[in-house]
Structure 1
């Protein structure tokens, strides 16, 4: 194979237990005089936000707190926050939490530097300048948004998720402190962990994969397979937490330099319509898309299966690859991911709308096997009709 690829990592990464205490110094180094802290109310009550504030106070960095971020961030909320703070001389953003807080921070940064409306920036490379300097502090192990050049926002008019994709969106700094993930509830640990696994699998199998992202993705798959069940079982297992945060990070770097595929093309319309947690949506579709994609690259899917634990002696590549489908279903069941039919508000009458949204999603172009709208419709139906795993 003759490789021809680019690899970017515009974000500086600091990884280690307790290093959230450095946020004040890092904010000052980035020239921050007045920071906008973007988080959610649940996280604000855990004490994590206070650790950030204490560090900023120690370095005399001024700040404003916005703690009303919601899951699957909405365009109208981002516009409202921008209007609220656009005249506040904000020169630094700090996103604290899961992907929703970090994506909201990126969207607000876009508005602070470009004005107008978010819908004018949906697409690839439509930003004219870098956004307001951004520091991201993830408290979940799933999205990798702290090192990605994208922000996913729900358009409240179309009920579709849209994306701003541009290297000018990249955070300046990612501070990853595994201790901040110790308080994460089991359900969110499970869902975000499956999100990281989906990122790694899709980055590795998509038709624009490249060798550096492949290496990162395979390591991330291995880490999730080993440590996600442990992190769900015992949230205080710091080794499992550390390895899951690392898996999320490197999977994020991987897919940001590769792409995703049909799982995300299905999950994002579902989240846009029903407000389904993104990691859960990925988890319920992952085994079905994985099975659909196997014929496109037997070897890669078999390799993934071995990383997940397939080790049947004498098995062919095909047998090993299909064992991966079973292992993905078993993993989701083991950590308590609900079945598709049990998710709130899911109605088969909406599958045609969802299939249409998936068929025009940007990730569809990168999926390892071509899909039509009818293929997506069948995948939604298959996932809904699947034998319950619980």
Structure 2
């Protein structure tokens, strides 16, 4: 056990202990099916996976930079062949509604019976949301979750069959296996959340060339977003041992590998493990409640078009301090995972350790360092009240002033 300030080298050597289980526990754990192909031959399994589902016509959904990097050509050559009938390269950060609608139109025009999301989280979310709009053929404002401040969100059932989704990622994002899709509404500047289990990916393909093609800073930001979600998942009041196992190992990989990005040790080994960590984190957080850092990060990212990973990394320690009255026991578990001496209050040493890890990264440390004007924070707090996850936060939010207080602390 250690009580002195922790260095990056400490995190690289972490070997997490098994958390103690309660004497009596009852739970239900349902995991959606997902076939994962990892390595240099992974793309060769794309056509067989399509054939397994009777699919013969695929549209790739990606960003223009992915096309320029030759990723679509690789996917065509190594995987899809003549099954590729169209490419939509209009993906934009935060999946704005216009891009999602355009993607749905491209899929319809090509007569596709499958969708291949190629890229990072925005490509995956755009492909998923486009499949929903294509099938349901309705106003997104009626299809999305209805959120009112102070009340749990209500999500309509979307029952029409959706095109199968296949994911070929370039960055580590928890979006791989999720069923939700957050679309940026330009009219309100807020996120519209669609949820449909039918849009979970059927198969995932992690390829070295695609993983290494993404800039280190982009991969780092995605990894940090995954890190924040893993910490929040372990901080959650929802106790689920199988989810805990995925989240703990995801966190272990993130702590060990994120610091290697952009160094001489940067290779498919760390990037591939970061992708696996993102998959585990995404699956683990399917069984936990949402949390405050992500809520505020969503609001900032949507309004100011900033990267979620960087924003969430700034917000995480401040959100953890706010949540501490409700998460003491969960923070003790995090302390055990991190091998931190917590004889007494667990909050301060755990948050200090997490801050130490984040400060070792070449990223901004304050919201002001991201170019965020202090005067915009009240509007961000207002937007956050409409987030899907707000009502799930461990420590109850008494009102907008609580949200603004956290933002000001992080500014």
Per the normalisation by structure 1, the TM-score is 0.90
Q: Which residue of 1 aligns with 2:405?
A: 378
Partner of 1:44: 67
Q: From 334, 339, 356, give the equivalent of 2:382.
A: 356
Is it true that 1:130 corresponds to 2:130 in the alignment? no
Worse-superposed segment, 232-241 or 67-76:
232-241
Residue in 2 that maps onto 1:260 = 290
Q: Kindly indicate whether the alpha-carbon contact (under 8 Å) linking 2:38 and 2:205 is maintained by their aligned counterparts in 1.
A: yes
Q: Per-residue displacement from partner, 1:176-229 (whole Å, max 9, x unpaired)? A: 235422232222122111111112122222233422211211111111111111
Pick closer, same or farther for the CA change 1:16–1:305 going to 2, 3 Å. farther
**What secondary structure is seen at the aligned counterpart in 2 of 1:182?**
helix
Other-structure match for 2:10: none
Give CA deviations for 1:87-145 in whole Å, capped at 9, x if unaligned. Answer: 4311110001100000000011112211123222212353113321110111101x221
Q: Distance in 2 between matches of 1:63 and 1:144?
A: 28
Query: What is the aligned partner in structure 1 of residue 230 from structure 2?
Result: 200
Quick one: distance in 1 between partners of 2:110 and 2:348?
A: 55
Equivalent position of 1:99 in the other structure: 121
For the residue of structure 1 that corresponds to 2:176, the secondary structure is: helix
Matched residues, number: 377
Of structures 1 and 2, the one scoring higher in RCO (CA 8 A, sep 6+) is: 2
CA distance in 1 between counterparts of 2:123 and 2:183 reads: 11
Q: Is the 8 A contact 1:3 1:210 kept in 2?
A: no
| Alignment counterpart, residue 136 of structure 2, candidates 106, 114, 132 | 114
8 Å Cα contact 2:103-2:126 kept in structure 1: no
2:37 to 14, 18, 25: 14
Q: Contact 1:189–1:232 at 8 Å: present in 2 too?
A: no
Question: Does 2:171 match 1:140?
Answer: yes
Give the CA deviation at 1:57.
5.2
Deviation at 1:47, TM superposition (A): 2.6
> Deviation string for 1:135-191 (max 9, x for gaps)?
0111101x2212111111111111011211221221111222354222322221221
For the structure 1 residues 361 and 71, does the alpha-carbon distance in structure 2 shift closer, same or farther, using more than 3 Å as the test?
A: same
Aligned equivalent of 2:252, options 203, 222, 229: 222
Give the match for residue 33 of structure 1. 56
Asked whether 1:69 is paired with 2:95, we answer no
Q: Choose 71-80 or 84-93, whichever is displaced more.
A: 84-93
CA RMSD after TM alignment: 2.0
Q: Secondary structure at the match of 2:132?
A: helix
1:299 maps to which residue? 329
Deviation at 1:6, TM superposition (A): 4.0
Alignment of 1:158-197 (within 5 A): 158-197=188-227
Q: Kindly indicate whether the alpha-carbon contact (under 8 Å) linking 2:62 and 2:119 is maintained by their aligned counterparts in 1.
A: yes
CA shift in 2, pair 1:117/1:11, >3 Å: farther
Cα distance in 2, alignment partners of residues 305 and 215 from structure 1: 15
User: Structure 1 178/152 Cα, relative in aligned 2: closer, same or farther at 3 Å?
Assistant: farther
User: Aligned in 2, Cα 1:53/1:261: closer, same or farther, shift over 3 Å?
Assistant: same
